[in-house]
Amino acid sequence: MLRRAQVSDLPRILEINSELDKDQWTKEKFSDMFEYDFPIWVVTDNADRIIGYAVYLVCLDEARILNLVISKSFQGNGLGETLMTHLMEDAAEKFAAKYAMLEVDASNLQALALYTKLGFRVLCVRKNYYTDKYLRDAYLMQAELPVA
């Protein structure tokens, strides 16, 4: 099931985020996003336990996808695709966004495959963009959104 996140979901969202190798999103950052009413969506199981989340913001006609995470043990079941597809439809319907943009680690093959499947194309490469652990490039990717 998909639903908008509530502030009370924050502990579980932080828990999922902490599974990442590079967990750079602080509790304060999430709290700000709730305060400013960023669209944060979660995917849940039948017992409403959160399995993944995604967040975006809209600037003019562009939806910027800020993060998309599915808890490790639930990956590979189509949930990332479901959540991302929903985000793209939501941004088009509610905010009349025409494009979606995101930045992705060029070595993140799962995410790259997902975004390519959903119509994202690489706009440019940001060389040595990620500097934690070792240098990695980032791809700036863009997709057209469905006309609402």
Ligand X SMILES: CC(C)(COP(=O)(O)OP(=O)(O)OC[C@H]1O[C@@H](n2cnc3c(N)ncnc32)[C@H](O)[C@@H]1OP(=O)(O)O)[C@@H](O)C(=O)NCCC(=O)NCCS
> According to CB under 6 A, which residues from 26 to 85 bind ligand X?
68-70, 75-81
Least distance between ligand X and beta carbon 88 (Å): 14
Q: Which of positions 115-134 make contact with ligand X (CB under 6 A)?
A: 117
d(CA 143, CA 105): 17
Q: Is 121 helix (H, G, I), strand (E, B) or coil?
A: strand
Binding mask 75-114 for ligand X (x = CB under 6 A): xxxxxxx----------------------x---xxxx-xx
79 versus 97: smaller Cβ distance to ligand X: 79
Task: Give me the least distance between CB of 107 and ligand X, in Å please.
Answer: 10
1 binds ligand X (CB under 6 A): no
The three state secondary structure string of 26-74 is CHHHHHHHHHCCCCEEEEECCCCCEEEEEEEEEECCEEEEEEEEECHHH
Which lies closer to ligand X via its Cβ, residue 109 or residue 147? 109
Q: Which tokens belong to 78?
A: 């189509």
Count of residues touching ligand X (by CB under 6 A): 19
Nearer to ligand X, 62 or 81 (CB): 81
Strand 40-44 vs strand 2-4: parallel, antiparallel, or unpaired? antiparallel
Of 22, 76, 14, nearest in space to 42 by CA: 14
User: Half-sphere exposure of 92 toward its Cβ, with a 13 Å CA cutoff?
Assistant: 15
Query: Residue 71 CB, nearest distance to ligand X (Å)?
Result: 8
Minimum separation from the CB atom of position 33 to ligand X (A)? 16
Q: Which amino acid is at 14?
A: L
Using CB under 6 A as the criterion, which residues of the chain lie in contact with ligand X when the complex forms? 20, 68-70, 75-81, 104, 108-111, 113-114, 117
